[in-house]
Structure 1
Amino acid sequence: MFQFSTEFMQIAAIIVSMLAGSFLIFMRIRAGKQPTSLRKIIIPPMGMATGFMMFAFPFMHIPFLWGLSAFGTGMLIFAFPLIVTTRLERIESDIYVKRSKAFIFIMVTLFMIRLSLHSVVEQYMSIPQTGAIFYLLAFGMIIPWRLAMVSDYVRLSKAETANEL
């Protein structure tokens, strides 16, 4: 069976991360040009949740406390700048994601922190386990961010309903 070298896997992971980050930034900028919906806010974390299937494979297993720590770090630290810089606004009868100029800077900064942490984490675990840790960090980051967006969306929807009465 063909086996990839560790260096190749590291470079491939960086390239895939850069492409995913660029795609996220592109989609976020594009999202501000069209109305959003509750569905558009909820679907990304639901789609990302399918990644938990990776833990069905033994080589992806990590200590529970490490996973919990990664998830908590995403929730308590990395989600904060995204929550602060993401606002929804009502324009006529539609709700839009208000673009923040700081969003791209924050996404690039989070990516650079993630890259620098990768080399540290990889000293203690395998590359697949490192991927599992950073998946949990990202999932922990997206959940509170999207919950904050849902809260804003519901608030703006209720305000529109109250204005119609």
Structure 2
Amino acid sequence: MGNINPSLLHIGSTVGAVFMALMVIFIRLKASARPVTIRKIWIPPLGMSTGFAMFIVPEVRFPWWWAVLAFLVGWFIFAYPLIRSTKFEERDGLIYAQRSKSFAFILLGLLLVRTLLHEFINRYISVPQSGGLFFILAFGMILHWRVFMYKHYTRISPPQEHIPQPRG
């Protein structure tokens, strides 16, 4: 990564993670006031998937099995608290995400665990590589959570909601 100080990258990634966690908490609290749609379920992982472009840079790359392991940890471990705290309710024929009192604490707890893991892993691999690993872990977590949300949403929503409507 040339002239960039690795400790600055580490501090920047930690500050960025804290900022993103706070943004997610804020967005989730506001989102509970608006109905859930299929589009709103799938936009976050689709938008996040553009982050895979970071692997074009050689300094970010690592063995495939590391990526698979990071994805599986995100899918099976980190997604679990998010899944457990996500509930839907029907109001006036629309589906809303219920506010969870524990959601903010879950996100902050996940951030703390992520930061501690990051500290440990940064001893053995470069900051760009650990950033890539934690991106894949987060993607596995978000994807599993959103798959759960989609399945739950389709179970409780009317069948016509599952069919994309033409714009007109």
The normalised TM-score by structure 1 is: 0.93
The match for 2:166 is none
- Work out the CA distance in 1 between the residues paired with 2:4 and 2:35: 44
The match for 2:15 is 15
Cα shift at 1:156? 1.4
Amino acid at match of 2:67: G
Paired residues for 1:76-115 under 5 Å:
76-115=76-115
Poorly superposed stretches of 4+, deviation over 4 Å: none
Amino acid at match of 1:151: K
Amino acid at match of 2:9: M
Amino acid at match of 2:113: I
Secondary structure at the residue paired with 1:4? coil
Cα shift at 1:57? 1.6
Paired residues for 1:1-165 under 5 Å:
3-158=3-158
- Work out the CA distance in 2 between the residues paired with 1:28 and 1:72: 24
Deviations 1:19-45 (A, max 9, x none): 111000100111101111110011000
Amino acid at match of 1:82: L
Amino acid at match of 2:95: I
Greater helix percent: which structure?
1
Number of equivalenced pairs:
161
- Work out the CA distance in 1 between the residues paired with 2:96 and 2:35: 5
- Work out the CA distance in 2 between the residues paired with 1:138 and 1:149: 16
Deviations 1:92-111 (A, max 9, x none): 11110111111111100000
What's the % identity of the aligned pairs?
40
Cα shift at 1:14? 1.0
Q: Which runs of 5+ in 1 are unaligned?
A: none
Cα shift at 1:7? 1.8
Q: Which runs of 5+ in 2 are unaligned?
A: 162-168
Amino acid at match of 2:115: L
Higher mean C-alpha displacement, 139-148 vs 2-11: 2-11
Q: CA RMSD in A?
A: 1.7
Amino acid at match of 1:123: R
Secondary structure at the residue paired with 1:110? helix
- Work out the CA distance in 1 between the residues paired with 2:149 and 2:2: 44
The normalised TM-score by structure 2 is: 0.91
- Work out the CA distance in 2 between the residues paired with 1:51 and 1:120: 23
- Work out the CA distance in 2 between the residues paired with 1:160 and 1:49: 28
